[in-house]
A and B are shown apart, each in its own frame.
Chain A
Amino acid sequence: MRSIGSLAVGAGFFFVTLALFVQGFLPAMIPESRSKQVSRAVRTDLGDVKWVRYDASDYTPLERLGRNIYIREGCWYCHSQYVRPVAGEHLRWGPVSEAGEYAFDLPHLLSTRRIGPDLTRVGLKYGDDWHYAHHWDPRLVVPESMMPSFKWLYTQVRVPLTKTGDGPALSPSPALQPYFTMKPDTQIPLYPNAAGLTFVPPPGNGQWPLDGTPLVDLKGFGDRPPALSVVTLVLPSVEMVGLVRYVQKLGTNRGAWREVFEPQMVSVPDMTIPESDGRRALGRAVYETRCVGCHGAKGDGNGPAATFLSPRPRDFTSGVFKFRTTPSGSLPTDGDLYRSVTRGIRWTAMPTWHELPGDERLAVITFIKTFSSRWKDEKPEPPVMIGKPPKATPVLVARGRDLYQTNKCFQCHGESGRGDGESAPELRDDLKFPIRPTDFTRGQFKGGSTAHDIYRTMTLGLDGTPMPSFADAMSDEERWAVSYYVLSLSAWKDPLTGRPLDVPAGGGSAQAAYPV
């Protein structure tokens, strides 16, 4: 090597330029790498799930703000954003990543390390409430988590309590002014945990104040409320709200993929788990590492994270369960509980536990049953047999629409099924906590999202909630008709926003499983 010139040009430019061309420019020339199209699972108007090719959508300004926070706080050092077609990842996280999903990512956030789980498919896995609890203190909801907390993305306001005839109330404080309009006729109930930590659900756009007066409510603790002299209000900043919006957006360009995600599906077996001390001990261990943050050490739904959560975590001491195959008022079967644990309760803080080994899921169920004496005194009634559904037809769906009107489903669930009916704000569950009717347009059904599931809910009701059984009010066929109609409300819609997609009806393939 004699000349500097040839060195500089040869090594410095020629090879690098060649590599940049082959490995940088050429891959970018492939149309797929620049396409916005992804395969997307959509619900059809007859209740099936189809895969269609569809354009990924851009982030909203609030989601983009959240994405910038995700970059700033280095979330991506521990959370990757791509699902590989190997190592069983499509069974752990969801469908394998496609190029179009990254169309609006600048810079990309694929990441090279998973100290925490991959987040490609985390959108809609948990409710917003879970994320607010999790970022405040991850160990509230995942006791063994090693994620740091992000408390500086919240404002903390300490407010002393004064005793009144109706129990403790927030003392008037100027510190509340930026966060509440203090309009006297609108009450905003807040539910402190035993340590006085009190989450305030933020406005949807993250812009405070909330329109109303905060009201501390300790009824979750029943007859023995904690003696609190001061509470700490926890108010997410707009950055935190944006971060949650961004996280919820992740993966939703693939639409309703979760409806065809095999690992979380459980047919409802009439199953009885054999009880033994060993299994209960394992169940306790599982409960204490997985469930205790929300459901509480006593199983009464008063875990330290409960203040963040709406709906509240299940109170196992009451022995009342929403999602059953057994008649209204009966205990559920073990199979019902197994299904709830495995599938999770969509759009709430209860995640899917399909990753947890089957025997641990079974064991924790035997442990949960130790919280209420109902399990000793009663036996679950036999499951109600559900016949074969009639074939979905446009006529049947139209009939369902009429029945939705005549049976006044709209009073709670709203005219268009958005869960915004006239009486929705007033609804309370049996423990007097506010409860929101399901927004059908998102297709996120807590008890399952097939016509079969909805039919079951209509037939058996949801114990402990205002959702009654319609077994007497409607005939078998009528209930099937309404079920299909309810499903059709989320047809061709985006599960994240509930907004209609621009899909030609009848398009797409009737592929059952998701593409790997």
Chain B
Amino acid sequence: MARDAAREALSRNDELINADLVRAWLASGLGWLLFFPTIGVLISTKFNYPEFLGDIPWLTFGRLRPIHVNGVIWGAFSTLFIGLCHYIVPRLTGVRLWRERWSYGLLWVWNVNLAAAVVLLALGGSRGWEAGELPLINVVVTLLGLLQLTVQFLMTIKHRRQRELYVSLWYLIAAFVWTDVNLVLLLLGPYNIPGINNAAWHGLYIHYVVGLWITPAGYVLIYYFLPASVRSPIYSHKLSLIGFWSLAFFYPFVGIHHYLYSPIADWAETIAIVSSMMLIIPVWTVLQNFFGTMIGHWRELSRNLPARFLIVGSIMYLIGCFQGSISALRTVQQPTHFTDFVIAHSHLTVFGTFVVWAIAGALYVWPRLAHDEPLWSFRLGNWGFWLVTLGISAMGLVLTVQGLLQGFRLMAGAEWVESVNAMRPYWWVRTFTGISMDVGMSLIVYILMKTSLAASRASREPR
């Protein structure tokens, strides 16, 4: 029954969507998608050229890194995600979004807030919690924005015509509610919890960003767009249930694995390790659901860009999360913690999976908003796909290798600078992988813009 409901939900309700609104959000998201990852490429060059842009305080590594990290989370990924929610929620509920026009205002606030965060962080306004450096004002505005969206989406869902809640909506509700709570933690945590407990709470915060915001948000997207783009119902409702509840149960406990072997209590570290390993359950469950959905539809991949991005993201998720889980183990962490191994994990998951899924969503939705205008150029889109895919694959590989090399060198007693020097050639490769991803994404954005232009030209000309 759930299958039928989902299939039905996926195939109608077009008239409920405010195309202008979704397009405005997605356009902003695509803009941020070109901006924030590029900051990462810029600062990665500093590994080999530390004096590059060196004398300008706001262009230094220490000022730009938080812009890259927070920008990818709240700018590139979240803006696209929220935009796509404005498409998904009406379709899955059968009603227009509750207080739709609020979202126009919020888009302005959201973008201004991001721009302000860029400026304030560049000026040195960091609050000092990794992945939570946003100045207080930006945290408050982000929280208020998410609260508004929480209310809008919950009210829309409350008024739904569809009695069954499709799995995307479970994750959507959870993501927003969890993150409202988490941002309160970010508001209060950094300057109110003294001592080593500050680190424990920060560990929780940082993994709630990825685990209770980016992850469920990403699931919202793929649970919707994968069945939609390959026109096949989701593989198993039971797996969806297992995936959801195991994520809800295990993910909140993992945060302290960021600070293993620190003076935080050993048993708390152990709980974090055990639940990190248990995360294999939700990850493999949802992936089985996605790959299962593809059964009989693999041919789709030849001409279906959104599906391709979704599947590549899923493969990255398999690799990135396995790496994440095992690197929570104490023995694995001895060499790998503090090295690029961790950076490999964060890029494979946050970019390789979730940003890639968001790109897939945009690729799916955008042409449909433009009167079903076909993609302006599949060829260029294909280039974009391969540049992104090869870029992130190579980046994941090179950073993982670097982490292992440096980690084991240090364990073998190598002198510090020697261990760093050995990394230099790899950092070169890493920069180029970043450029590849950037160019790939630019191509995707370019063809989407061209598609819109073609559509508006077509609508002006009599057919």
Q: Which chain A residues have a beta carbon within 8 Å of chain B's beta carbons?
A: 1-2, 4, 7-8, 10-13, 15-16, 18-20, 22-24, 26-28, 30, 32-34, 71-78, 80, 82, 84-88, 91-92, 97-99, 101-117, 138-139, 142, 144-149, 151-152, 289, 355-357
B154 touches A4 (CB 8 A): yes
- Measured between beta carbons, the chain B residues less than 8 angstroms from A104 are 194-195
Q: How far is the CB of B404 from chain A (nearest CB, A)?
A: 13
Within 8 Å of chain A (Cβ to Cβ): is B262?
A: yes
Of B46, B195, B245, the contact of A148 (CB 8 Å cutoff): B46
Q: How far is the CB of A24 from chain B (nearest CB, A)?
A: 5
A113-B342, A146-B50 known; 11 new pairs, CB 8 Å cut-off, are: A12-B174, A20-B204, A34-B194, A34-B197, A71-B127, A73-B124, A75-B62, A99-B264, A110-B262, A111-B130, A149-B55
A103 touches B61 (CB 8 A): no
- Measured between beta carbons, the chain B residues less than 8 angstroms from A355 are 415-416
- In the complex, A148→B50 CA distance in Å? 5
A99 touches B195 (CB 8 A): yes
A108 touches B61 (CB 8 A): no
B55 touches A152 (CB 8 A): yes
- In the complex, A107→B197 CA distance in Å? 10
- Known contacts: A7-B174, A97-B262, A145-B417. The answer to whether A15 contacts B249 by CB under 8 A is yes
- Known contacts: A1-B165, A20-B204. The answer to whether A77 contacts B62 by CB under 8 A is yes
- In the complex, A24→B361 CA distance in Å? 36
B334 touches A112 (CB 8 A): no
Within 8 Å of chain A (Cβ to Cβ): is B263?
A: yes
- Closest chain A residue to B180, Cβ basis: A12
Of A20, A80, A103, the contact of B338 (CB 8 Å cutoff): A80
- Measured between beta carbons, the chain A residues less than 8 angstroms from B174 are 7-8, 11-12
A33 touches B195 (CB 8 A): yes
- In the complex, A4→B66 CA distance in Å? 35
- In the complex, A8→B177 CA distance in Å? 7
B265 touches A30 (CB 8 A): yes
- Known contacts: A7-B170, A12-B181, A74-B126. The answer to whether A20 contacts B252 by CB under 8 A is yes
Can you pick out 9 interface pairs between chain A and chain B where the beta carbons lie within 8 Å of each other? A7-B174, A13-B177, A28-B200, A32-B263, A73-B63, A74-B66, A105-B194, A114-B338, A148-B51
Q: How far is the CB of B121 from chain A (nearest CB, A)?
A: 9
Q: How far is the CB of B60 from chain A (nearest CB, A)?
A: 5
Among B43-59, those with CB < 8 Å from A are 46-48, 50-51, 54-55, 57
B195 touches A27 (CB 8 A): no
B417 touches A23 (CB 8 A): no
- Measured between beta carbons, the chain A residues less than 8 angstroms from B259 are 82, 110, 112
- Measured between beta carbons, the chain A residues less than 8 angstroms from B60 are 73-74, 148
Q: How far is the CB of A142 from chain B (nearest CB, A)?
A: 7
Q: How far is the CB of B265 from chain A (nearest CB, A)?
A: 5
Of B202, B244, B268, B343, the contact of A26 (CB 8 Å cutoff): B268
Of A77, A102, A152, the contact of B198 (CB 8 Å cutoff): A102
- Measured between beta carbons, the chain B residues less than 8 angstroms from A32 are 263, 265
Within 8 Å of chain A (Cβ to Cβ): is B410?
A: yes
Can you list, as one digit per residue, whether each of B259-286 has a CB less than 8 Å from chain A (1) or not (0)? 1111111001001100000000000000
- In the complex, A77→B241 CA distance in Å? 39
- Closest chain B residue to A14, Cβ basis: B248
Q: Which chain B residues have a beta carbon within 8 Å of chain A's beta carbons?
A: 46-48, 50-51, 54-55, 57, 60-63, 65-66, 124-130, 154, 157-158, 165, 170, 173-174, 177-178, 181, 185, 189-202, 204, 208, 212, 241, 244-245, 248-249, 252-253, 255-256, 258-265, 268, 271-272, 330, 334-335, 337-339, 342-343, 407, 410-411, 413, 415-417, 420-421
A27 touches B197 (CB 8 A): yes
Q: How far is the CB of B349 from chain A (nearest CB, A)?
A: 15
A87 touches B335 (CB 8 A): yes
- In the complex, A110→B130 CA distance in Å? 10
- Closest chain A residue to B49, Cβ basis: A146
B198 touches A107 (CB 8 A): yes
- In the complex, A7→B247 CA distance in Å? 13
- Known contacts: A19-B252, A148-B61. The answer to whether A103 contacts B194 by CB under 8 A is yes
B54 touches A357 (CB 8 A): no
- Measured between beta carbons, the chain A residues less than 8 angstroms from B194 are 34, 103-106
- In the complex, A107→B186 CA distance in Å? 11
B62 touches A102 (CB 8 A): no
- In the complex, A147→B48 CA distance in Å? 10
A23 touches B255 (CB 8 A): yes
B265 touches A19 (CB 8 A): no
- Closest chain B residue to A84, Cβ basis: B261
- In the complex, A265→B212 CA distance in Å? 50
Find the residue from A11, A104, A116 having the highest chain B CB count within 10 A.
A11
- Known contacts: A73-B124, A107-B128. The answer to whether A102 contacts B334 by CB under 8 A is no
A107 touches B263 (CB 8 A): no
Q: How far is the CB of A293 from chain B (nearest CB, A)?
A: 13
A4 touches B62 (CB 8 A): no
A152 touches B57 (CB 8 A): yes
Find the residue from A78, A86, A112, A356 having the highest chain B CB count within 10 A.
A112
- Measured between beta carbons, the chain B residues less than 8 angstroms from A28 are 193, 197, 200
- Known contacts: A23-B253, A27-B197. The answer to whether A107 contacts B202 by CB under 8 A is yes
- Known contacts: A74-B61, A107-B190, A108-B196. The answer to whether A12 contacts B178 by CB under 8 A is yes
Q: How far is the CB of B395 from chain A (nearest CB, A)?
A: 16
Of B124, B158, B253, B263, the contact of A97 (CB 8 Å cutoff): B263
- Measured between beta carbons, the chain B residues less than 8 angstroms from A15 are 248-249, 252
- Known contacts: A33-B195, A107-B191. The answer to whether A142 contacts B417 by CB under 8 A is yes
